Amino acid sequence: MNKKIAILAGDGIGPEVMTQAIRVLDAIATKFGHKFEYTESLVGGAAYDKHQNHLPQETIDVCNNSDAVLFGSVGGPVDKQHEAKWANCEAKSILALRKAFNFNINLRKMALYTEIASLSPLKPELLSNGLDIVIFRELLGDVYFGEHTQTEKNGERYAFDSGSYTESQIKSIAEYAFKVAKTRSKRLISVDKANVMAMSKLWRQVVSEVAKDNSDIEYSDMLVDNCAMQIIKNPSQFDVILTSNLFGDILSDELSVLSGSVGMMPSASFSSSGLALYEPAGGSAPDIAGKNIANPIAQILSASLMLGYSFNMLDEAKIIDEAVKATIVAGYRTGDIYTKGANEKMVGTKEFTDQVIAFISK
């Protein structure tokens, strides 16, 4: 197969983990006889330097002409957030991309590797069976694209945000999440705040209607405050979580650290047009950029999601996931997942990927 991939490496560790993900894709192309054509394009601070714009039209055009988008990360150092290059850089790049391409469905995947479970903030007895959780987060509704204003009212400062959901927005992601739940262990928990919010009441109505058409899936609702608690009390009850934009933002960060490092969670954003964007859920980590110490796993697994979901290359995706797992089992560790175990070798970003590639090319 021939596939065109837009490469938006971005800032911080983005470019170096992207380089490694591309090496992995090349190894897959060689093994399976595919041709991947990459077009690099600027986004985030890197784009601002050249275009004074965090998401230039040129980049949008490249995405439009591609079969899928592989995204790195964007954003600058904490102490430079006042500079125009970095001010609101994440929102201006990522939110603008979501809006431009109608990416309404976000999937983030959390997997616990038992070999490094000691890094998890959770107690070992909660993790003995491993963890494998997918969270679906709606991306275009809720308070994200509503009104955001700060004014004065009655002589004091006053802030106002608005949020909304339409029935079709909820239905679109719910149907997708139920479809994916069928390919997993057939359990789905929908998370809302239906005891307070109108958006959540509608969410629950629509999701329960979609559930009726998917009676083979064990479905339940959970309030978001309880869910935040259950994730750390009894995480193995979760398989597929389905939730709205803001709750999904918060809960996916909570899930991402259960594995022991934020550098391990891949994500995918889908739109009804068929184009999808794949990116690590973690940030650009400018403090460790350029040192060959960043964990490339989230970027490599994002490439795997791309092969599976956008190109239907299921064997190819599976072999990448297995290669990452095998590399961990063999004891190779980037610094963030090094536990000083007897069988462990601390390696760099590139050297870790060398092992992933060696496994693929076997």
Q: Which does 316 bind (CB under 5 to 8 A by kind): Mg ion, ligand IPM, none?
A: none
The answer to whether the beta carbons of residues 20 and 300 sit under 8 Å apart is yes
Instruction: Rank residues 13 and 117 by Cβ distance to ligand IPM and give the closer one.
Output: 13
**Active-site hit among 26, 132, 221, 253:** 253
Q: Is 193 a catalytic residue?
A: yes
Q: Which does 254 bind (CB under 5 to 8 A by kind): ligand IPM, Mg ion, none?
A: none
Site for ligand IPM in 232-251 (CB under 6 A): 249
Q: Is 49 a catalytic residue?
A: no
Q: 107 Cβ partners below 8 Å, 6+ apart?
A: 134, 135, 136, 137, 180, 267, 268, 269, 270, 305
Structure tokens belonging to residue 86? 């970095």
Q: Is 161 a catalytic residue?
A: no
Check residue 91 for interaction with ligand IPM (CB under 6 A): yes
**Active-site hit among 26, 132, 221, 249:** 249
Check residue 94 for interaction with ligand IPM (CB under 6 A): yes
The stretch near Mg ion (CB under 5 A) out of 1-9, 145-153, 210-218, 246-254 is 246-254
| Residue 320 CB-half CA count within 13 A | 30
CA separation for the pair 114, 124 (Å, rounded): 10
Residue 74 Cβ vs ligand IPM, minimum distance, rounded to whole Å:
8
Q: Which does 11 bind (CB under 5 to 8 A by kind): Mg ion, ligand IPM, none?
A: none
List alpha helices for 33-166, DSSP H.
45-51, 57-64, 89-90, 96-101
DSSP string, 156-215: EEEEEE--B--HHHHHHHHHHHHHHHHTTTSEEEEEE-TTT-HHHHHHHHHHHHHHHTTT
Instruction: Rank residues 97 and 177 by Cβ distance to ligand IPM and give the closer one.
Output: 97
The stretch near ligand IPM (CB under 6 A) out of 63-71, 88-96, 203-211, 336-344 is 88-96
Instruction: Rank residues 82 and 340 by Cβ distance to ligand IPM and give the closer one.
Output: 82
Q: At what angle do helices 167-182 and 198-212 cross, to 10 degrees?
A: 40
Q: Is 225 a catalytic residue?
A: yes
CA separation for the pair 15, 285 (Å, rounded): 12
Q: Is 52 exposed, middle or buried (0-12, 13-18, 19+ CB in 10 A)?
A: exposed
Q: Would you give the binding string for ligand IPM spanning residues 249-288, x where CB under 6 A is met? A: x---------------------------------------
The answer to whether the beta carbons of residues 224 and 192 sit under 8 Å apart is yes
Instruction: Rank residues 249 and 322 by Cβ distance to Mg ion and give the closer one.
Output: 249
**Active-site hit among 61, 161, 213, 225:** 225
Catalytic residues: 144, 193, 225, 249, 253
Q: Give residues in contact with ligand IPM (CB under 6 A).
A: 90-91, 94-95, 249
